[in-house]
Amino acid sequence: MKIALCQIEISESLEKNLESIASALDSVSADFYVFPELALTGYRENLFEIVNSQDYSSGIEILKDYSKKKTFLLGAPYLRDGRLFNSVFLFSEGDCRVVAEKSALFPTLDDVAGFSPGRERDPFVVGSYSFYAFVCFELRSPELIRSFALQGADVLVLIAQWPEARKDHWETLLSARAIENQTVVLGVNAVGKAFGNPLCGLSRAISCDGSLIGGLDKDPGIITLEIPSFETSLPYPRRVVFQGIPKLLPLNKLLPILERRRMHGERIVFTNGCFDILHAGHVDYLEKARALGDLLVVGLNSDLSVRKIKGNDRPINPQEHRAKVLTSLSCVDYVVMFDEETPEDLIKKIKPDVLVKGADWEEDKIVGASFVKSYGGEVVQIPFLYDTSTTKIIMKFKGS
Which residues are known catalytic residues?
308, 310
Q: Which long-range contacts (CB under 8 A, 24 or more apart) does 10-15 make?
A: 10/36, 10/38, 10/39, 10/41, 10/42, 10/161, 10/190, 10/191, 10/192, 10/194, 11/42, 11/192, 12/42, 12/44, 14/40, 14/41, 14/50, 14/55, 14/56, 14/59, 15/55
Categorise residue 25: left if φ over 0, alpha if ψ from -120 to 50, beta otherwise.
Answer: alpha
What are the DSSP calls for 109-154, one per residue?
TTTTTTB-----B--EEETTEEEEEEEGGGGG-HHHHHHHHHTT-S
The strand pairing partners of 34, in sequence order, are 5, 73
Work out whether the CA dihedral 328, 332, 336, 338 comes out positive or negative: negative
Categorise residue 67: left if φ over 0, alpha if ψ from -120 to 50, beta otherwise.
Answer: alpha
**CA 267 to CA 284: how far, in whole Å?**
20
Q: Answer for the pair 52, 79: CB distance below 8 angstroms, yes or no.
A: yes
371 — phi, psi (to 5°)? -65, -45
Burial class for 241, CB neighbours closer than 10 Å (0-12, 13-18, 19+): exposed
Work out whether the CA dihedral 12, 35, 193, 86 comes out positive or negative: positive
